[in-house]
């Protein structure tokens, strides 16, 4: 999975720090990120890459570290015309080398989107600015405080003996098979959410719901909570056609592999194929 870069390497604790030459500068515009193009590949820019262009960046915010390397978000930035800087779509991070920079790049984009969407206070319309003591946005007029947007969603591998339920979305760019998933509603437990989503999307009942793993999924400001469950009773699928175009039961042999396994959903499909769940 995309966040699996090695135990204890990623440190998201809030701190106020100043960048060193080898630290990484993250700059985003809407759904694009600034990278340096080198040969056929891309890499994240370090502060040392700004040599001669230091004035381009007025202020930066420390975001997190991987090992001793700090990752900083440019508050304001004028992209230099020289030095190979380019803007690329965030989907590039789905298969980025090294994967830790893909994870850092997409995680930084979640903080960027949240800050951009909290520039003004929802209570009084005043200007908001980053908090001093924690990762927050604070209104300069009324003090209203906002914390990062992380939306929980469940994803579930439903087993029916030696078959797994997989489906295809009716809309969006993603055309491969996937597991049933959906956002948590207010007042709902994860287990209740699994039961509701499965009933809504494919008209099935499930039992033996057990936790698998969780995963930060910054592409959609989500944390995915993965579960495995067993079919309870009738296996007749009643499709919610607004959400899904197709769903069915697949044997281990029928499951097609789509590496790399960057998402918890794909990891669960692979684990079922390999007889591990």
Other CB atoms within 10 A of residue 133 CB? 8
Grouping H, G, I as helix, E, B as strand and the rest as coil, residue 185 is coil
Tell me the window of 131-139, 163-171, 211-219, 229-237 that interacts with Zn ion (CB under 5 A): 131-139
Task: Return the residues of window 151-210 that contact Zn ion according to CB under 5 A.
Answer: none
Minimum gap (Å) between residue 120 Cβ and Zn ion = 8
Q: Which residues pair with 71 in a beta bridge?
A: 24, 64
Query: By C-beta, is 118 or 163 nearer to Zn ion?
Result: 118
User: From residue 63 to residue 102, what is the string marking binding to Zn ion with x (rule CB under 5 A)?
Assistant: ----------------------------------------
Grouping H, G, I as helix, E, B as strand and the rest as coil, residue 106 is helix
Number of residues that bind Zn ion (CB under 5 A): 8
Alpha-carbon distances of 135 from 106, 123, 130, 148, 186, rounded to whole Å? 17, 19, 7, 7, 24
Minimum gap (Å) between residue 121 Cβ and Zn ion = 3
Query: By C-beta, is 61 or 145 nearer to Zn ion?
Result: 145
34 binds Zn ion (CB under 5 A): no
Please report which residue ranges of the chain form alpha helices under DSSP H.
Answer: 99-116, 190-202, 264-273
Per CB under 5 A, the list member of 49, 56, 83, 126 interacting with Zn ion is 126
The answer to whether 12 and 134 have CB atoms below 8 angstroms apart is: no
121 binds Zn ion (CB under 5 A): yes
Q: Which residues pair with 223 in a beta bridge?
A: 152, 216
User: From residue 135 to residue 154, what is the string marking binding to Zn ion with x (rule CB under 5 A)?
Assistant: ----x-xx-x----------
The answer to whether 57 and 77 have CB atoms below 8 angstroms apart is: yes
Tell me the window of 39-47, 120-128, 223-231, 267-275 that interacts with Zn ion (CB under 5 A): 120-128
Q: How far apart are CA 90 and CA 103, in angstroms?
A: 11
Query: Which residues contact Zn ion by CB under 5 A?
Result: 121, 123-124, 126, 139, 141-142, 144
């Amino acid at each position: 999975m995309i966040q699996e870069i090695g135990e204890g390497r990623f440190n998201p604790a809030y701190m106020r720090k100043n960048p060193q030459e080898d630290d990484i500068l993250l700059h985003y515009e809407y759904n694009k990120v600034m990278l340096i193009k080198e040969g056929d590949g891309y890499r994240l820019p370090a502060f040392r890459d700004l040599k001669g262009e230091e004035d381009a960046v007025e202020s930066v915010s420390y975001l997190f570290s991987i090992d001793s390397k700090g990752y900083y978000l440019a508050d304001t930035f004028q992209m230099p015309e020289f030095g190979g800087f380019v803007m690329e779509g965030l989907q590039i991070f789905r298969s980025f080398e090294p994967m830790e920079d893909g994870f850092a790049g997409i995680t930084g984009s979640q903080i960027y989107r949240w800050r951009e969407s909290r520039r003004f206070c929802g209570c009084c319309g005043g200007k908001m600015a980053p908090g001093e003591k924690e990762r927050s946005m604070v209104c300069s007029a009324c003090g209203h405080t906002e914390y990062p947007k992380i939306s929980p969603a469940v994803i579930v591998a439903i087993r029916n003996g030696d078959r797994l339920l997989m489906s295809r979305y009716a809309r969006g760019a993603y055309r491969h098979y996937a597991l049933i998933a959906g956002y948590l509603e207010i007042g709902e437990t994860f287990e209740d959410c699994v039961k509701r989503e499965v009933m809504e999307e494919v008209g099935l009942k499930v039992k033996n719901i057990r936790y698998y793993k969780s995963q930060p999924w910054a592409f959609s400001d989500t944390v995915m909570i993965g579960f495995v469950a067993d079919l309870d009773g009738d296996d007749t699928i009643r499709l919610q056609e607004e959400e899904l175009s197709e769903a069915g039961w697949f044997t281990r042999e029928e499951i097609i592999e789509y590496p790399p396994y960057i998402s918890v959903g794909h990891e669960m499909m692979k684990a079922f194929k390999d007889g591990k769940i």
